[in-house]
Structure 1
Amino acid sequence: MTTAEILKKVRRIEIKTKGLSNHIFAGEYHSTFKGRGMSFSEVREYMPGDDVKFIDWNVTARFSHPFVKVFEEERELILMLLVDISNSSLFGTHKQAKRDLMTELGAVLAFSATTNNDKVGVIFFSDKVEKYIPPKKGKGHILRIIRELITLEPSGSGGGTNVGLALEFLNNVMKKRSITFLLSDLVSTPYEQALQLAARKHDLVGIHIYDKHDKELPQAGLIQVMDAETGRTQWIDTDDRGVRMHYGMAFDNKYKYSVQAFRKSGASLLHVRTDEDHVKVLQGYFKGR
Structure 2
Amino acid sequence: MPAIPPPIPPNAVAPVPLTASPIALLRKLEWRVRHAVENVLSGEYRSAFRGRGMEFDQVVKYEFGDDIRDIDWNVTARLGEPYRKKFVEEREVTLIVVLEDAPSLQFGSGAQSKREALLELAGLVMLLGAVNRDRVGCLCASPGGYALREPVRGRGPIMHAAAALFSQTAPPIAQAAAPVEIPWQLLARAAPRHSIVIWLGDFAPRPAPDGWSLIQRRYQTMGFRVDDPWERALPAGEPFAAYDPVTGRLVTLENSAAERAAHARWRAARDDAFRNLFPDTHSRLVVGTDQNRLDALVRFFHARMAAR
* TM-score category of the 2 structures, normalised to the smaller one: 0.7 to 0.9
Question: Given that residues 80 and 179 in structure 1 are in contact (C-alpha distance below 8 angstroms), is that contact kept between their aligned partners in structure 2?
Answer: yes
Q: 1:273 corresponds to which residue? A: 288
Q: 1:24 corresponds to which residue? A: 40
Matching of residue 151 in structure 1 with residue 167 in structure 2: yes
**CA displacement at 1:152 relative to structure 2:** 1.1
> Which secondary structure state, in structure 1, belongs to the residue aligned with residue 284 of structure 2?
strand
The letter for the 2-side match of 1:185 is: D
Structure 1 pair 231/239, CA: closer, same or farther in 2 (3 Å)?
closer
The letter for the 2-side match of 1:187 is: A
Q: 1:288 corresponds to which residue? A: 307
Question: Given that residues 89 and 98 in structure 1 are in contact (C-alpha distance below 8 angstroms), is that contact kept between their aligned partners in structure 2?
Answer: yes
Matching of residue 211 in structure 1 with residue 228 in structure 2: yes
> Which secondary structure state, in structure 2, belongs to the residue aligned with residue 124 of structure 1?
strand
Question: Given that residues 103 and 146 in structure 1 are in contact (C-alpha distance below 8 angstroms), is that contact kept between their aligned partners in structure 2?
Answer: no
Question: Given that residues 182 and 204 in structure 1 are in contact (C-alpha distance below 8 angstroms), is that contact kept between their aligned partners in structure 2?
Answer: yes
**CA displacement at 1:190 relative to structure 2:** 2.0
Counterparts of 1:261 and 1:38, CA distance in 2? 27
The alignment of Structure 1 onto Structure 2 pairs a total of residues equal to: 255
Counterparts of 1:105 and 1:23, CA distance in 2? 20
1:77-100 deviations in whole A, cap 9, x for unaligned? Answer: 210001122222222335743223
Structure 1 pair 196/100, CA: closer, same or farther in 2 (3 Å)?
same
Counterparts of 1:150 and 1:112, CA distance in 2? 16
The letter for the 2-side match of 1:135 is: P
Map residues 203-242 of structure 1 onto 2, 5 A cutoff: 203-228=220-245, 230=246, 232-242=248-258
**CA displacement at 1:22 relative to structure 2:** 4.0
Counterparts of 1:202 and 1:100, CA distance in 2? 27
Matching of residue 177 in structure 1 with residue 198 in structure 2: no
The letter for the 2-side match of 1:189 is: R
Map residues 100-249 of structure 1 onto 2, 5 A cutoff: 100-127=116-143, 129-155=145-171, 159=176, 162=179, 165-187=182-204, 189-228=206-245, 230=246, 232-249=248-265
What fraction of aligned residue pairs are identical, expressed as a percent?
Answer: 22
Question: Given that residues 129 and 135 in structure 2 are in contact (C-alpha distance below 8 angstroms), is that contact kept between their aligned partners in structure 1?
Answer: yes
Map residues 81-92 of structure 1 onto 2, 5 A cutoff: 81-92=97-108
The letter for the 2-side match of 1:273 is: G
TM-score by length of 2: 0.70
Structure number with greater CO (CA < 8 Å, separation at least 6) is 2
1:103-125 deviations in whole A, cap 9, x for unaligned? Answer: 33223322322333221000112
Q: 2:66 corresponds to which residue? A: none
Matching of residue 10 in structure 1 with residue 26 in structure 2: yes
Q: Which has the larger radius of gyration?
A: 1
1:52-77 deviations in whole A, cap 9, x for unaligned? Answer: xxxxxxxxxxxxxxxxxxxx954122
Question: Given that residues 203 and 273 in structure 2 are in contact (C-alpha distance below 8 angstroms), is that contact kept between their aligned partners in structure 1?
Answer: no
Structure 1 pair 101/237, CA: closer, same or farther in 2 (3 Å)?
closer
